[in-house]
């Protein structure tokens, strides 16, 4: 059992990752990612290196479970620079 819960996807060359319970709404979620990225995650590659093009909010969901719509500042849209959340 690794750090990530990754399952075969219905789509070719893709995998579905089950994200942790969201700290805001308590629901888990799914994100479909390329199989190559899934393999990299399972090999221990950091999320930002395995999925550099995924987008800050979805990477955050993989790491912490926080849904993009639940994240602080989500109501202000996606124009906020990610550094503001560090
Ligand atoms: Zn949520």
Q: Mean pLDDT across the chain, nearest whole number? A: 87
pLDDT value, residue 72: 80
Q: What is this structure's pTM?
A: 0.79
- Domain spans of the chain? 5-74
Query: Which residues, listed in sequence order, are joined to residue 11 by a DSSP beta bridge?
Result: none
What's the 8 CA to ligand 1 centre distance in angstroms?
A: 23
Distance of alpha carbon 50 from alpha carbon 16, whole angstroms: 14
Q: Which of 20, 25, 17, 60 is nearest to 42 (CA)?
A: 17
**What average pLDDT does the segment 66-77 reach?**
79
CA-closest candidate to residue 42, choices 7, 75, 77, 10: 7
Q: What local confidence, expressed as pLDDT, does residue 73 receive?
A: 74
Distance 14 CA to ligand 1 centre (A): 23
Which residues neighbour ligand 1 (ion) by CB within 5 Å? 22, 24-25, 67, 70
Mean pLDDT of 6-29: 95
Residue 75: pLDDT band (50, 70, 90) is: low
- Give the model's confidence band at 3: pLDDT under 50 very low, under 70 low, under 90 confident, else very high: confident
**18-51 confidence digits (pLDDT tens):** 999 999 999 999 999 999 999 999 999 999 999 9
């Amino acid at each position: 059992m690794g750090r990530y819960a990754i399952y075969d996807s219905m789509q070719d060359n893709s995998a579905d990752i089950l994200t942790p319970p969201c700290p805001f709404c308590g629901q888990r979620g799914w994100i479909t990612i390329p199989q190559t990225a899934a393999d990299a995650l399972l090999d221990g590659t950091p999320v930002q290196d395995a999925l550099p093009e995924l987008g800050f909010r979805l990477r955050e969901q993989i790491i912490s479970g926080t849904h993009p719509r639940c994240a602080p500042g989500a109501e202000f849209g996606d124009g906020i620079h990610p550094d503001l959340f560090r």
